[in-house]
Amino acid sequence: MRLRGAVAVVTGASSGIGTATALRLHQAGARLVLHGRDTARLTALAERTGGRVVTGDLADVAGIPALAEEIRSRFGTVDVLVNNAGVGWAGRFGEMTAQDVRRVVDVNLTAPVELTRALLPDLLDRPAASVVFVTSIAGRTAVAGEALYSAVKAGLDVFAESLRFELAASAVDIGVVVPGVVDTEFFARRGKPYERRSPRPISALRVADAVVRVAAGGRAEQYVPRWLRWPVLVRGMVPGVYRLLATRFGGSG
């Protein structure tokens, strides 16, 4: 689809991959709807991109219908939805509180599902539209110390794939971007910094470039970096070997 002039909603736009994606979409000529919790950062980004700010916390899933209605009433239409917002949690699963569990599930899985559902009639009404889900390699391979985060990202992956099949005859493309370790504030916010020597973190702009490619080109998925598809293939072809290696080397990042 043509991104120039398209109305693109980006969740989690106040930092990291979301900010980088907004900048790349702006360069492609899209009209931006910038969603996030940090009003000051969103306002600064809006000044750089000409975007419009819609603030809110996606952990409040009950407020998503009102969010969709605000977007609809203020902008009239939606051509691109980038479900990027996410929250992490690092540590042993048994140490999570019920509140921790609820927030990780709601922000990473329930919110993108509900926002997609709320905006889908608008997307289906366009001559061409796209929905992009930013997932994680953790959802493809599993990661010790991030059991719940891995699970919800895997769920988002399967939701996106199923929705792609369901909408195959429509003009709405569904795509997934699967990043590895990205140099953002995510790790500090999850409660544990990234301490492994490899793989080395990549820039958020590399992930943003993949998001734009998927949104514009109708691609089903993009790994960032591309070599991440290999551990996924190993897991699928020789799961026993993969589990042995992951148990020995695949601890929490």
Which ranges of the chain does DSSP label H, i.e. alpha helix? 16-27, 39-49, 64-75, 98-105, 111-124, 138-141, 147-166, 186-189, 204-217, 229-237, 239-249
Reading the block at residue 190, the tokens are 């999850």
R_g of the chain computed on alpha carbons: 18
Is the CB of residue 46 less than 8 Å from the CB of residue 69?
A: no
Bridge partner residues of 172 (DSSP): 129
* Structure-token pair, residue 56: 């809110």
Distance (Å, whole) CA 32 – CA 12: 13
Bin 86: left if φ > 0, else alpha if -120 < ψ < 50, else beta. Answer: beta
CA 73 from chain center: how many Å? 24
CA distances from 74 to 37, 203, 205 (A): 19, 32, 28
Which of 149, 194, 223, 242 is an active site residue? 149
Active site residue 149: yes
Cβ–Cβ under 8 Å, residues 177 and 221: yes
Residues contacting 164, CB < 8 A, separation 6+:
173, 174, 175, 220
Catalytic residue IDs = 149
